[in-house]
A and B are shown apart, each in its own frame.
Chain A
Amino acid sequence: MEALLEFEKPIAEIETMIEKLKRLSSEKKGDYGDQIAQLEQRSREQRQQIYENLTPWQILQIARLKERPILQDYISLICSDFAELHGDRCFSDDRALIGGFATIGEHRVMLIGHNKGKNVEENVERNFGQAKPDGYRKALRLMKLAEKYGLPVVTLVDTQGAYPGREGEERGQHEAIARNLVEMARLEVPIVSVVTGEGGSGGAIGIAVGDSVMMFQYAVYSVISAEGCAAILWRDGSKAPLAAEALKITAPELKKLGIIDEIIEEPFGGAHRDHSVAAANLQKALAGQIKSLSRLSSSKLINRRFEKFSRMGEFAKG
């Protein structure tokens, strides 16, 4: 096994030994069955030990892994049908944020999500999942279409953040995100949002004003990147692990703060270890939320959403 992450190296070492012994066994150079079993046991324990004690910084590394399932994996694993709809009708078709009609189990929905790539070519085309205003405006167009057709909206969040560049400013990145926040607040159909990997600030919340907001176990959601926060408040980018800790970016911490409603479990060792298990867990969580939210009338839904976001925040009354 190859160690994808620095902190997985001890496991990788054991697994390399296991592979060696297995090879020797198969070449009939001795019987190592007992040792192999022992080592496998140790590897399992080691992994459990590591994964039960992950720091926020380590979780952030998992959330960013390029081996982690991305939107296209989830589409192919949980959607029996997907019809992509292109363009914002204003300027372009942003490949960093895509959407379309999708069938998930028995549910027909509008699926919208950040579109990271698997390799350099894909990531260049998709701008590493960092959407421009065009992407956020397309997302809104699709949400309004879902409202017209009475379809629930499912958004999958996985972005470092909205694109911070000249074209973004020129075409109103701020306005596009802000408009989505206003419109999503009153959308007459259920909105279910899931942070599957990175939930980067305004770029994330721009599609995540959900009746239900869920997070994968090793996803992160943050107001600023740990590196950015460290550079500003510590004046030292290398203090990012400290910033990751201080910012409270992990699913359990955000559940405690009332930001998210549910944590979606990942397969042992992380979603990247088994895409199909991660996808099945996602599908189950989505189906549960869509089912229960679809029972609510539009006005109930909107009031409930307003109340939910009204409650967010902690302050003293002085």
Chain B
Amino acid sequence: MPWFIKTKSESPKAKREEIWIRCGRCRAHIFKEDYANNQKVCPKCHHHGRLAAYERIGLTLDSGTFKEINPGITPSDPLEFVDAKGGYAERVNQTRAKTGLNESVVTGTGKISGIPISIAVMDFRFLGGSLASGTGEKIMLAANYAYDHKLPFIIFSASGGARMHEGVLSLMQMAKTCAAIARLNERGLPYISVLTDPTTGGVSASFAMVGDINIAEPGALIAFAGRRVIEQTIKQKLPEDFQTAEYLLEHGFIDSIVHRKDLKQTLAQVLSYGTAGRK
């Protein structure tokens, strides 16, 4: 083929997009492969990109130890909610087809450096990781599994908050998940919360913020009210690092900010203390 004839599939732009991606923060071009090999952390500015739930599980648990529980739980559209863009039921179907997920959280059991745990990992791709009936049920059941089997419990949060399409039923999931966690406290079982980008609204105001240990990823947005809401309704000027993991660390709400490459090791370290004491 003559060099000056471009076919569509081989246009330089398409090719570039295939192998390059741009960092969401510093806008640097990164080799896609390098990015994936670096656990979706920008090699230049260390911006931590969002992970799908199964990617997270792959990075966190010992290989081959994950056993999923309650994978089938999925929204039932209890309010028959319809907004400007159409019905909630349809949105759910599209999201399920696109992500292969049934809800905004994946739960199960596995091991971290040999320590058996129960785990819940939220996935932002499923309706913004929003907290709804199915999400709350799965998290509660995973916590109850930890309670029944005397296991430590870990939640990775990634969520825009409560899901509006299920109304107050979503709001109640805040109380439901926290009630399950409260039982772990009584039994002396470790509960570790890992806050990833973003952890906001009803999720920050429930299970995400009440870990025995709260760990955050660098730069993660962690907020109760949205920045825009605050600027528009209260008309306050806000500091640049407002609502970042670093800001929360400074104000005393998280124990530690941990780079993704060190996260598994940190969890293993914390769990080794959490399971060492006299019972």
Contact = CB atoms under 8 A, between A and B. Distances in A.
Contacts of B234: 164-166
Contacts of A171: 251
Contacts of A228: 229
B236 A315 contact: no
Contacts of B172: 205, 259, 309, 312-313
Given A309-B175, A312-B169, A182 B75 contact: no
Interface in B199-253: 201-202, 204-210, 222-226, 229-230, 233-234, 236, 238, 242-243, 251-253
B34 interface: no
B224 A315 contact: no
A211 to B, nearest CB: 12
Contacts of A202: 171, 174, 201-202, 205, 224
A233 B205 contact: no
Given A175-B253, A257-B169, A312 B209 contact: no
Interface string A253-283: 0100101000000000000000000000000
18 contacts: A166-B242, A172-B251, A178-B178, A178-B204, A178-B205, A181-B210, A186-B182, A201-B202, A223-B162, A306-B179, A309-B175, A310-B140, A312-B136, A313-B134, A315-B73, A316-B74, A317-B72, A317-B74
A182 B202 contact: no
Q: Bin chain B's interface residue count.
A: 35 or more
Contact of B74 (A204, A236, A306, A318): A318
Interface of A: 162, 164-166, 168-175, 177-179, 181-186, 201-202, 204-206, 209, 221-224, 228-229, 232-236, 239, 242-243, 246-249, 254, 257, 259, 305-306, 309-310, 312-318
A52 to B, nearest CB: 23
Contacts, number: 208
A165 B176 contact: no
Given A168-B225, A178-B209, A223-B162, A249 B168 contact: yes
A234 B164 contact: no
Contacts of B276: none
A318 B72 contact: yes
Interface of B: 71-76, 78-79, 81-85, 102-103, 132-134, 136-137, 140, 162, 164, 166-176, 178-183, 185-186, 201-202, 204-210, 222-226, 229-230, 233-234, 236, 238, 242-243, 251-253
Contact of A169 (B166, B178, B206, B243): B243
Contacts of B74: 315-318
The binding surface of chain A is classed by DSSP as helix
B171 A201 contact: yes
B84 A259 contact: no
B75 A316 contact: yes
Contacts of B243: 169
Q: Which of A179, A242, A312 is packed against the most chain B CB atoms within 10 Å?
A: A312
Q: Which of A172, A223, A232, A317 is packed against the most chain B CB atoms within 10 Å?
A: A223
A165 B234 CA distance: 6
A31 B44 CA distance: 91
B175 A175 contact: no
Given A164-B225, A316-B73, A205 B171 contact: yes
Contacts of A257: 78, 167-169
B167 to A, nearest CB: 5
A315 to B, nearest CB: 4
Contacts of B253: 172, 174-175
Contact of A318 (B71, B166, B204): B71
B173 A310 contact: no
Nearest to B236: A166
Given A247-B164, A249-B167, A259-B168, 8 more contacts: A170-B251, A171-B251, A181-B179, A222-B167, A223-B202, A234-B83, A259-B169, A313-B136
B262 to A, nearest CB: 24
Q: Which of B76, B176, B183, B233 is packed against the most chain A CB atoms within 10 Å?
A: B176
B127 to A, nearest CB: 12
Contacts of B238: 166
A291 B75 CA distance: 38
Contact of A315 (B76, B202, B204, B207): B76
Nearest to B134: A315
A166 B235 CA distance: 10
A246 B209 contact: no
Nearest to A208: B175
A168 B205 CA distance: 12
Contacts of A248: 79, 167-168
A246 B72 contact: no
Contacts of B226: 164
A165 B171 CA distance: 21
A175 B168 contact: no
- Ranked nearest first, the 3 interchain pairs of A and B with the lowest CB-CB distance are A318-B72, A313-B133, A164-B225
A21 to B, nearest CB: 46
A182 B73 contact: no
Nearest to B85: A233
Nearest to A224: B164
A174 B162 CA distance: 13
Contacts of A221: 168, 171
A110 B229 CA distance: 34
